[in-house]
């Protein structure tokens, strides 16, 4: 395609051909007798050949893939070389990513652990393979909880997880609510609808900006008329009237708050929490903990 934006490197245009492979069970190492219907597999061998073998049976069926490739950091590890020239590293990654994409279901996603050394290049290659519109986010994982004062320069305490979807059909699950988030909902007035939390009833907009949200309301406990000050209300008058009828306004434990709050009931909110792209070590662990 003319004027196509892409990352190029030495050897990119030289295709890596991988012939179809078959997976052969090693009965001596298998434990299928315990569960003959299991679909779990532990594959020993070159991962490109393994992926090619999986492709023939599982193409378009995998919901979630997580990979932790060599970071190419310049260190030598026991089981693989982590000190490749950048073009070599990209040539190793690209064919594997292409097969991984073919394995994914339409609503599937790929999660890739990486650090800063190759992150930017990997991101561009994934944009090319999966489509930039299918990039979902980059998660920052706090892999270290402390930094030595003797370190010279800017210390790196986080790594990344690149997240790509196969298509727009991908939809992430909600996270379970934490005890801390549930504790924000209380029931000081013994409302039969259960625990709730108070939500601000005032708008960020001023009365001049939103005149349609300016009206007098009455405190049912003190019978005082409450007028808009600087800020407008969040809701139009018909909605406010509905809140009054449904006993959704909270004027404080003694009913003397200057403005009301809205009751948001735990039973009415989504029963889960929106995932985000910052993973602190106290929630997901760190490398020192993993080593121990």
CA atoms within 13 A on the CB side of 82: 16
Question: What is the tens place of the pLDDT at every residue in 185-244?
Answer: 999 999 999 999 999 999 999 999 999 999 999 999 999 999 998 999 999 999 999 999
- Measure the CA–CA gap between 92 and 14, rounded to whole angstroms: 12
The domain ranges of the chain are: 27-173+275-291, 179-268
Q: What pLDDT digit, counting tens, does each position of 129-180 carry?
A: 999 999 999 999 999 888 888 888 888 889 999 999 999 999 999 999 989 9
With a cut of 60, say whether residue 2 has pLDDT above it: no
pLDDT band at 73 (very low <50, low <70, confident <90, very high): low
What is the architecture of the domain spanning 27-173+275-291? 3-Layer(aba) Sandwich (3.40)
Query: What is the residue-wise DSSP string for 90-136?
Result: HHHHHHHHHHHHHHEEEEEEEEEEE-TTTHHHHHHHHHHHH-GGGEE
Instruction: For the sheet with 261-265, list strands across it.
Output: 196-200, 261-265, 249-250
């Amino acid at each position: 395609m003319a004027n196509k934006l892409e990352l190029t490197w030495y050897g990119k245009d030289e295709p890596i051909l991988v012939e179809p492979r078959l997976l052969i069970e090693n009965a001596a190492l298998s434990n299928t007798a315990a569960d003959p219907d299991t679909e779990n597999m532990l594959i020993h061998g070159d991962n490109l050949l393994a992926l090619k073998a999986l492709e023939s049976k599982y193409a378009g069926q995998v919901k979630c893939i997580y990979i932790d490739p060599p970071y190419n950091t310049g260190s030598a590890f026991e089981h693989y070389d982590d000190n490749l020239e950048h073009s070599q590293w990209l040539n190793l990654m690209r064919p594997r990513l292409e097969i991984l994409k073919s394995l994914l279901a339409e609503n599937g996603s790929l999660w890739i652990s990486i650090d800063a050394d190759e992150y930017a290049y990997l991101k561009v290659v994934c944009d090319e393979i999966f489509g930039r519109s299918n990039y979902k986010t980059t998660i920052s994982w706090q892999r270290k909880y402390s930094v030595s004062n003797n370190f010279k320069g800017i210390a790196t305490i986080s790594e990344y997880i690149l997240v790509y979807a196969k298509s727009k059909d991908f939809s992430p699950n909600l996270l379970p609510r934490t005890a801390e988030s549930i504790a924000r909902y209380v029931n000081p007035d013994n409302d039969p609808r259960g625990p709730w939390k108070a939500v601000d009833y005032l708008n960020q907009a001023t009365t001049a900006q939103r005149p349609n949200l300016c009206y007098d309301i009455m405190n049912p406990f003190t019978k005082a008329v409450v007028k808009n000050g600087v800020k407008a209300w969040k809701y139009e008058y018909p909605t406010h009237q509905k809140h009054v009828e449904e006993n959704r306004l909270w004027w404080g434990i003694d009913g003397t708050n200057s403005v009301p709050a809205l009751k948001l009931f735990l039973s009415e909110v989504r029963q889960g929490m929106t995932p985000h792209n910052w993973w602190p070590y106290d929630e997901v662990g760190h490398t020192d903990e993993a080593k121990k």
